[in-house]
A and B are shown apart, each in its own frame.
Chain A
Amino acid sequence: AQSVAQPEDQVNVAEGNPLTVKCTYSVSGNPYLFWYVQYPNRGLQFLLKYITGDNLVKGSYGFEAEFNKSQTSFHLKKPSALVSDSALYFCAVRDDGGATNKLIFGTGTLLAVQP
């Protein structure tokens, strides 16, 4: 069965510093990986996805993610954090290798950016 793990409940970073939010995955077959962000009292906003191709995926709001097959990781990164980036971040994997829309989510990582 497909799964993702987000090992950190919270990540703290100072504004202007680079940020990394970690995600590891376990899949049978090709991974279809996603990052979403959730602001308080809001739904999930799509940031980026990896289906195939380049290991460095660029997404919305200056975020990017690095796919590493050997380490089964898909970490979210941003070169310079903003206070407005403070939110809950979810890593997700599509179940059944892409034949369904069912997403399996990690437990989420709360990103806190201090001014």
Chain B
Amino acid sequence: KAGVTQTPRYLIKTRGQQVTLSCSPISGHRSVSWYQQTPGQGLQFLFEYFSETQRNKGNFPGRFSGRQFSNSRSEMNVSTLELGDSALYLCASSRRTADTQYFGPGTRLTVL
């Protein structure tokens, strides 16, 4: 069974731009969560989606948004990029809420 896939794997943007990251969960998994990983703040929860509904949201500004489609694929969007948004963005999927989460390889975003 294929794992969680994330595209693109690497991305370079400039301040003020916006970016969209994509995540395809493991087949049969309906829950998708997003995390941001930085050297300074570590791993921080962004959002959680299940059946196209946002179930939970972390403590991030409104520039960070996400959505989930009917096929469980998910996207997250960051508008008006700041230098501090440079991070590894990880997507995780599980069959349902409260199941074990399996992570994708991440998207490395660099903001210049």
Q: Which residue of A lies closest to B108 (CB)?
A: A41
| Distance in Å: Cβ of B77 to nearest Cβ of chain A | 20
Contacts of A94 in B (CB 8 A): 98
Q: A43-B4, A99-B98 are in contact. Are A105 and B43 (CB under 8 A)?
A: yes
With the chains together, A99 CA to B99 CA distance in Å? 10
Interface string of B15-31 (1 = CB under 8 A from A): 00000000000000001
Closest residue to B4 on the A side, CB-wise? A43
Interface of B is mostly: strand
How distant is the Cα of A50 from the Cα of B66 in the complex, in angstroms? Answer: 30
Tell me the residues in window 17-36 of chain A with beta carbons closer than 8 Å to chain B beta carbons: 32, 34, 36
Within 8 A of A (CB), among B20-79: 31, 33, 35, 42-43, 45, 48, 55-56, 58
With beta carbons under 8 angstroms apart, the residue of A44, A100, A106 that contacts B48 is A100
Q: Measuring CB to CB, which residues of chain B are less than 8 angstroms from any residue of chain A?
A: 4, 6, 31, 33, 35, 42-43, 45, 48, 55-56, 58, 90, 92, 94, 97-106, 108
A-side residues, CB < 8 A to B, are 32, 34, 36, 41-46, 49, 90, 92, 94-95, 98-108
